[in-house]
Amino acid sequence: MTDSHKNISVVILAAGKGKRMKSDIPKVLHRICFKPIIYYILKEVFALEPENVYVVAGFQGELVEQYLRDNFPAARTVFQKNLLGTADAVSVLAGFKDELGSKCLILAGDMPLIQSESLARLLQFKRDTGCNAALLTTFVDNPCGYGRIIKDEEGSILKIVEDADATLQEKLISEINPSVYCFDTDLLFEYLKKVKPQNSQGEFYLTDLVGEFVSAGLKVKGLTLEDSIQVEGINDRVQLSLLEKIMRRNINEGFMLSGVTIKDPENTYLDREVEIGKDTVIEPFCFIYGKTKIGKDCIIGPFSQIEDSTIGDGTKINKSVVQGAVIGRSNNIGPTSYIRPLTVTGDNVKIGACCEIKKSTIASGSKVPHLSYIGDAQIGSGVNVGAATVTCNYDGFFKNRTIIEDGVFIGSDTMLVAPLRVGRDSITAAGSVISRDVPPGSLAIERGKQVNVENGALKFRNKKISAKIQEESCEENKKNQNED
């Protein structure tokens, strides 16, 4: 914790329903670039190392509380039972007053582009000016929907007027209140009691607290934020989409500046938590998210989806899905393969077109070239698995394991009925169903005896032609009878 912030607590207002979202999900849990909106705010807030962080939840508050418990356990959830406005939301923290520190930073929970540097500037601004309350302000081209900053001739803040209550003259003001405040904690809770619902919504507005401070002769200062997009809020899904586009651009530019080639940033979707090594190339329409780490010199081909996986240096993934897997160096995967969780591959492994690998280990130098399903298997090094091979791992009750030792050649269209061990350097013949262990160095063959019938193809075709002629004749007779 930094000395400058040790007496500061942060309050994030996340109780609103967000009616214009038209959703049963709390607005702050709607996602931008794979993460809930509130994730980005909490990341920036915790970068300040404050004394405490509180999130005021209301609509579907148990969902917000669960998310915080799972992802930000240091944040504490408090509940606003009746959604009566922002001042009412802050007042529910009165019972925690002794834990809040000398200063309280309050911000809305729907501005995912806010930066910790801007919040730190506001805190420093309050210290430097010695004011009792400081707030961020910014100028926008279209202030509709925002509270307007009303100043005197000397530029001091007199009050904030909400858009719904503003006069026509006040609506022309382009300096707006993005709802980021820093108050002296004792004064905050003292004057919250004075706020009345004197507005068209019948709610208790935190903005009215500014007027109360000014009326009492307390100093209120505004710090202008040049980059207004940082405090852009989200009220509907159109704004959600617009801010996601900006967030995606920021994330992708960060990767590119660190040495990653992104061929089409407008159509590449990366999670901020992902790690990607230098000289890796990301082709268009890739989705890479979760706790994924991609090494250097990789090629992630178009339309690939990678989640919670580790990809070794020099690996190529082409139009495939990789989830919860650990992929070694210089692998070649795809196109259109599905690598499922708990799969681990060694170096120089090939998994070709249209393969599915589930909860299996594949050692270095082995190949599963195409059209195969490998599940619950352990494959040694130097193994070649022929096309259309299936490990029959599920017997209707249990998942069973297949072990294929080093140097084995599995013929195409082999069914490996688990539990099963195929010994080192052995071969299974194409088209076999292998249900017993194969000793090392053996050739395993399981096929029905082939029978060739002389002129059988001619006889078969003639039989089918005669049947078709007879069927057509019957249909014609029925038709004639109906016409008579």
Report the chain's mean pLDDT, rounded to a whole number.
94
Share of the chain above pLDDT 90, in %: 83
pLDDT surpasses 80 at 89: yes
DSSP result, 212-247: HHHHTT--EEEEE-S-GGGG----SHHHHHHHHHHH
Find the mean pLDDT for residues 98-118: 95
CATH number for the domain running over 237-444: 2.160.10.10
pLDDT surpasses 80 at 481: no
Find the mean pLDDT for residues 274-291: 98
Q: Max alpha carbon distance in the chain (Å)?
A: 110
Tokens of 418: 């688990």
pLDDT surpasses 60 at 4: no
CA of residue 55 relative to chain centroid, distance: 21
Share of the chain above pLDDT 70, in %: 98
Give the count of beta carbons closer than 10 Å to the beta carbon of residue 224: 11
First to last CA, the chain: 100
Find the mean pLDDT for residues 412-417: 98
339-360 pLDDT, tens digit each: 999 999 999 999 999 999 999 9
Domain boundaries, the chain: 3-231, 237-444
**CA distances, 15 to each of 78, 110, 174, 283, 320 (Å):** 10, 11, 27, 40, 40
SS (H, E, C) 40-64: HHHHHHHCCCCCEEEEEECCCHHHH
Collapse the DSSP code of 306 into the 3-class scheme (helix H, G, I; strand E, B; otherwise coil) and give the result: strand
Task: For domain 3-231, give the fold.
Answer: Spore Coat Polysaccharide Biosynthesis Protein SpsA; Chain A (3.90.550)
pLDDT at 152: 82
Q: Answer for the pair 288, 309: CB distance below 8 angstroms, yes or no.
A: no
Cα distance between residue 278 and residue 257, in whole Å = 10
pTM listed for this prediction: 0.89
Query: Range with the lowest mean pLDDT among 6-10, 41-45, 58-62, 372-376?
Result: 6-10
Tokens of 152: 């005197």
pLDDT at 2: 47
Q: Answer for the pair 416, 410: CB distance below 8 angstroms, yes or no.
A: yes
Which residues does residue 148 pair with via DSSP β-bridges, in sequence order? 161, 176
Please name the residue that has the structure tokens 């979202």: 21
What residues act catalytically? 370
Phi and psi at 416, nearest 5°, equal -105, 105
pLDDT at 5: 60
Question: E strands of 271-331, at which residues?
Answer: 275-276, 281-282, 287-289, 293-294, 299-300, 305-307, 310-311, 316-317, 321-323, 326-327
Cβ contacts of 432-439, under 8 Å, gap ≥ 24: none
pLDDT at 145: 83
237-280 pLDDT, tens digit each: 999 999 999 999 999 999 999 999 999 999 999 999 999 999 99
Tokens of 177: 């209140």
Q: Give rounded-to-5 percent helix, strand, coil for the chain.
A: 30, 30, 45
133-185 pLDDT, tens digit each: 999 999 999 998 889 999 887 778 999 998 888 899 999 999 999 999 999 99
pLDDT at 3: 47
pLDDT surpasses 50 at 475: yes
Find the mean pLDDT for residues 403-408: 98
Give the count of beta carbons closer than 10 Å to the beta carbon of residue 394: 12
